[in-house]
Chain A
Amino acid sequence: MYERIEELVQDAEKSGKAISELVIEHEVQTSGMSREDVWNKMKHNLETMRAAVERGEKGVKSMTGLTGGQAVKIKAYREQGHTLSGDIMMQAVQNAVATNEVNAAMGVICATPTAGSSGTLPGVLFMLEKRLKMNEEQMVRFLFTAGGFGMIIANNAGIAGASGGCQAEVGSASGMGAAAAVEAAGGSPRQSATAMAFAISNLLGLVCDPIAGLVEVPCVNRNAVGSANALVAADMALAGCTSIIPPDEVISAMDKVGRNLPRELRETGLGGLAGTPTGQAIRMKIFGKEMD
């Protein structure tokens, strides 16, 4: 198991193999499953992710009515052709929002790495599918690369909002998406690591403050930002920009920041947006009790 990003990058550089390949080999070795089974399991995850995107863009509504229907609006807005950040960026945003709206509506999703951050990776991936004309094999590889980076992030810093805030969820997902986007675009393993470092650095300190403790507001919109941030980070790395702070140190910084976050801002539904008068009023309305 790779413990550090630097090991993964060096191994890829030495062997000349893509990071996705190293991750597949590791999985085959430790799981006892055949390569074909490992591949097909990831392919099934990809299909689940696609189904969620497609369901969300048709329009879903959560039980509370707090979220749902934004993906439909974004799609209609894109069709008018006047997006400020460009159609391709808003396509990523639409995919991200669609997935998290399905999650909030208790639909089936693939956690990447968590359910609360399940929109970020599909946001990037299904946009790149069109942008780079990726085939299925490339898309499955994208997920292995993202997962390989994610394992190192998760083992060194964690991915739970309750422990590390939203930076650990959407921040991690964004870093994974950025790294995998670089590989999909033909960048080097080192550029993948740089993209991950940029993406996580940009979201350091992001708090987990779900209204009424529900994975709805602000989670859905934060996934939109997670996807957009991943693409910006990937582009900057591909442009040759380098991270002053090494990727592994960025991960350990995220771990420390998470530990320093007060509990009000770690998925307790007490602080941040959840603690606002409106946030508390919504909680009262849904559950009939205030937070202590």
Chain B
Amino acid sequence: MAGNYRSVFDIIGPIMIGPSSSHTAGAVAIGKAGRTIFNGQPKRVVVHYYESFAQTHQGHGTDYAIAAGIMNFPADDDRVPIARQLAKEAGIDIRFVEEAGPSPIGHPNTAVLNLSDGQQQVEVAACSVGGGVIEVRQIKLYDLTIKPTGPLPIILYPVKTTDERREIKGLQLTEFLRMHAPFKQNVVVENQAWRIFEFDLINYLHAGTKKHLLGNYPGIICI
């Protein structure tokens, strides 16, 4: 059992602008995940579509939906259908590429987002599994590759290797999550410059828990 659907509102919901929950609402969620991991507004985004996404993105409004997510609009926002234009006006260059090959993450509704702003470059490979719910299966951040199990929520906590308190910070976060937001997997990846702690949570984050995390762990990313 994949267990992607943790809330009754994953099934009855989301409220959204039509026409497709996996290609429109799910695509908004993918765009939003990209923006969240990028941790700010990118200047340039290249979206690579695979399989069903490559075949049907035009008919389903997937392009404007991803643009809406990158702009941080909710799925039922009136601006979703005009998000490409709004993104352009906001100075974000978004391009879409239909890839002929199979999905690199093994799902027919796959989009791989390359986000950059001239300094930072982030890659997010996500798929839309139905009803607006997504999985993020691969993330490239600070030249590190992270492969979460997929289902959200996912927490990423990058700490510089020059930070002497990196060990303690990671332990503190791990302990906090164990108490308040249990996870089924956690991974630590590291290169010369960065160490990233990654957690695959079991339940959706409570609002108060998320607030605490964002307030106490600078740079933490909650998707």
Contacts and interface: CB of A to CB of B under 8 A. Distances in A.
Contact of B20 (A115, A150, A155): A115
Interface in B191-208: 203-204, 206-208
A268 B131 contact: no
B21 A116 contact: yes
Given A30-B6, A48-B15, A103-B18, A114 B108 contact: no
B81 interface: yes
Interface string A264-281: 001111100000000000
Q: Identify whether the interface residues of A are mostly helix, strand, loop, or mixed.
A: helix
The residue among B9, B60, B129 with the most chain A CB atoms within 10 A of its own CB is B9
Interface in B41-81: 51-52, 55-56, 58-61, 76, 81
Contacts of A113: 10-12, 21, 130-131
Interface residues of A, number: 64
Contacts of B52: 162, 266-268
B219 interface: no
Given A158-B130, A263-B51, A108 B76 contact: yes
Interface in B1-28: 1-22, 24-25
The residue among B7, B8, B51, B56 with the most chain A CB atoms within 10 A of its own CB is B8
Contacts of B2: 155, 158
Interface in A176-208: 176
Contacts of A176: 11
B114 interface: no
A229 B163 CA distance: 62
A216 B109 CA distance: 19
The residue among B6, B81, B128 with the most chain A CB atoms within 10 A of its own CB is B6
Contacts of B6: 1, 30
Contacts of A69: none
A13 interface: no
Interface size, B (range): 35 or more
Contacts of A155: 1-5
A163 interface: yes
Interface string A26-51: 11001110000000011011001000
Contacts of A115: 16, 18-21, 24-25, 132
A110 B14 contact: yes
B17 A106 contact: yes
Contact of A168 (B8, B76, B130, B208): B130
A1 B3 contact: yes
Given A108-B17, A116-B20, A155-B4, A213 B58 contact: yes
A151 B51 contact: no
Given A1-B6, A111-B25, A268-B55, A163 B12 contact: no
A162 B57 CA distance: 12
B56 A269 contact: yes
A127 interface: no
B13 A160 contact: no
A143 interface: yes
B7 to A, nearest CB: 6
A96 to B, nearest CB: 14
Nearest to A216: B19
A30 B128 CA distance: 23
Given A32-B208, A45-B15, A144-B8, A111 B132 contact: yes
Interface string A204-241: 00000010111110000000000000000000000000
B12 A143 contact: yes
A249 to B, nearest CB: 15
Interface string A80-121: 000000000000000000000011111111111111101001
Contact of A154 (B16, B51, B130): B130
22 contacts: A30-B6, A103-B18, A106-B19, A106-B61, A109-B15, A109-B18, A110-B12, A111-B13, A111-B21, A113-B11, A113-B131, A115-B24, A151-B11, A154-B133, A158-B129, A212-B59, A213-B58, A215-B18, A215-B19, A215-B59, A266-B52, A266-B108
The 8 closest A-B pairs by CB, nearest first: A160-B130, A213-B56, A32-B206, A103-B18, A213-B59, A150-B11, A147-B8, A215-B19
Interface of B: 1-22, 24-25, 51-52, 55-56, 58-61, 76, 81, 107-109, 128-133, 203-204, 206-209
Given A32-B206, A214-B60, 14 more contacts: A1-B3, A30-B6, A32-B209, A111-B15, A111-B131, A114-B131, A146-B12, A150-B8, A151-B5, A154-B4, A154-B5, A212-B59, A268-B108, A291-B55
